[in-house]
Amino acid sequence: MRGEFPSLRFLRPGRLSCISGITAVVAGVDRCMVCIMSRASSQLAFFLCGCYMAALGVHAGEHYVADHHKAGYYVAAVYEHQSILSPNPLALTSRKEALELMNQNLDIYEQQVMTAAQKGVQIIVFPEDGIHGFNFTRTSIYPFLDFMPSPQLVKWNPCLEPQRFNDTEVLQRLSCMALKGEMFLVANLGTKQPCHSSDPGCPNDGRYQFNTDVVFSSNGTLVDRYRKHNLYFEAAVDAPLKVDHIIFDTPFAGKVGIFTCFDILFFNPAIQLLRDSEVKHIVYPAAWMNQLPLLAAIQIQSAFAIAFGINFLAANIHHPSLGMTGSGIYSPLKSFWHHDMESSKGHLIIAQVARNPQGLVGTENATGKMDPSHSKFLKILAGDPYCEKDAQEIHCDAATKWNMNAPPTFYSEMMYDNFTLVPVWGKEGYLRVCANGLCCYLLYQRPTLSKELYALGVFDGLHTVHGTYYVQVCALVKCGGLGFDTCGQEITEATGIFEFHLWGNFSTSYIFPLFLTSGMTLETPDQLGWENGHYFLRKSRLSSGLVTAALYGRLYERD
């Protein structure tokens, strides 16, 4: 529920709009940050959001609305919701009082559905904990829970059959929104299910309580439900005894998978769902606290879409004082996202989404000629005799000399893990740093040097703070200051420009490319893939200063 990856240091506020990698301050709009990311300006898609009309005028919006049912595309929306919270979630309350609070949030949901309907939206996603809030005990959350019949056993339209089950007022309202807006609707709520003492898993109070995502079709029918499996310090609810692997069918996008927040870091159900090759779309309610430099919400959301070549529709809760913001509609080549640490208002993103997303492909650039830096990278991996390496220097051809100068290895805490790092000095170079069995490499050039410290870091081990899971990480990060001990601190602004290859000898195939530039801006890698037993990320032409470029590997079997 509340705040996966809590952070002790919150992000610095930012407001900007990013269009095809070109950054510009949005004039005339207070506290709004909306971004589009695309590999090529010619691929720019149209979008609408709560501040878009005021920020960029109505022309693109009019074109978007007129073209919203383009063949091979559908229109999706995610809403980052500033939820109205219980003033005392630990206090016992009545069902009537609980419904009064939840209806305030549902009123806002209904407004967003009606706005989305006017733009031709076919599916909308709302965040985790958006209706009832968080920080409850098992007892205090009970009045906020709806009874949840199994959609596999019961076909039910709560809007049209409101008297069929008791304690289903929230489900009824959501069903009516879907029906009125004529769109698929995904939302998160707390649910309850009675159990008997003969059930060995039945809690002592005689009921299961779940953190539940629900899916309604455009006619209000309850299509399916997903009960969160990987709970994040959620004492008020239970994990289901058996993992839900939920895939639902839509007429506009085919098969769609669903999971919640912290689930994104684990094999079940997230990775298991994608073993079905027909699943090209994921809907993802979240209540995620940003944790830089590696796990801000928009970082991991975008990385998941790129790593698996899918569309990823992510709705995060919006509570900047808790470090909670970051939602978007992501595809491997083009993304629309929102990150705002200043505004106290919710935010709607609407985007046109390809039914069959294109992934990052190809080993050469558009001209058909191999990039010189990529040629050097391949020679290094191949151990080419013309790419001679020793402790002092590397020669990749007669005209190029890379200074090594044996940079010092140091240690610093990053993401609560003890990273081994080397400083990134000079305008060009080739670096290596190792820990346990993982070695990370960086081949880089910089057009100009900035007065900033960057470092290449490696971690290969079990992460044990705020969750236990095994990671292998190669990370190029900007440090918080000029001292080695500042590497790993949370920063959002940078000026350093790099052209680089980052790679490592990972022992997992599950590797997520985390990429963040100045002002909480996302970038798309030019190329990703395996080469000679190493996984690499390649990037040139950054639009702004580099904050983080990382390859984040998960070894699920070692958790």
Give the per-residue SS3 of 171-217: HHHHHHHHHHHCCEEEEEEEEEEECCCCCCCCCCCCEEEEEEEEEEC
Q: E strands, 299-391, where?
A: 311-316, 327-330, 334-338, 347-354, 388-389
CA nearest 285: which of 80, 453, 123?
Answer: 80
Q: Are 300 and 337 in contact (CB under 8 A)?
A: no
Is the C-alpha dihedral spanning 494, 498, 503, 509 positive or negative? positive
Q: E strands, 88-161, where?
A: 123-125, 146-147
Task: Enumerate the β-bridge partners of residue 445.
Answer: 428, 499
The amino acid at 534: H
- What whole-number percentage of the chain has pLDDT above 90? 79
Write down the pTM of the prediction: 0.88
Q: Are 146 and 189 in contact (CB under 8 A)?
A: yes
Question: Which tokens sit at 464?
Answer: 């044990």
- Answer yes or no: 228 catalytic: yes
Which residue carries 């769609």 as its tokens?
256
**CB 112: neighbour CB atoms within 10 A?**
22
What are residue 304's phi and psi, to 5 degrees?
-65, -40
| Alpha-carbon distances of 381 from 144, 411, 489, rounded to whole Å | 57, 26, 31
Q: Which residues contact 103 (CB under 8 A, 6 or more apart)?
A: 173
Among 32, 51, 176, 261, the one annotated catalytic? 261
Identify the weakest region by mean pLDDT among 64-73, 203-212, 384-393, 525-534.
Answer: 384-393
SS3 state of residue 431: strand
Q: Are 254 and 280 in contact (CB under 8 A)?
A: yes
Among 192, 228, 376, 539, the one annotated catalytic? 228
Among 4, 18, 32, 128, the one annotated catalytic? 128
Kindly state the average pLDDT of the residues 408-424: 98
Whole-angstrom distance, CA of residue 47 vs CA of residue 313: 14
Q: What is the pLDDT of residues 420-436, one digit of tens each?
A: 999 999 999 999 999 99
Q: At 53, which helix (H) or strand (E)?
A: helix 52-56
- DSSP state, 455? E
Whole-angstrom distance, CA of residue 206 vs CA of residue 198: 10
SS3 state of residue 54: helix
Q: What is the pLDDT of residues 205-227, one digit of tens each?
A: 999 999 999 999 999 999 999 99
Residue 401 pLDDT greater than 70, yes or no: no
pLDDT of residue 373: 87
Confidence of residue 195 (pLDDT cuts 50, 70, 90): very high
Residue 364 pLDDT greater than 60, yes or no: no
- What whole-number percentage of the chain has pLDDT above 70? 82
pLDDT of residue 71: 87
Which residue carries 């000679």 as its tokens?
532
Q: What is the pLDDT of residues 522-546, one digit of tens each?
A: 999 999 999 999 999 999 999 999 9
Kindly state the average pLDDT of the residues 125-149: 98
Residue 489, Cβ density class (10 Å: 0-12 exposed, 13-18 middle, ≥19 buried): middle
Residue 28 pLDDT greater than 60, yes or no: no
Residue 22 pLDDT greater than 50, yes or no: no
Q: What is the pLDDT of residues 36-64, one digit of tens each?
A: 554 433 333 333 333 332 222 222 222 34
Alpha-carbon Rg for the chain, nearest whole angstrom, is 24
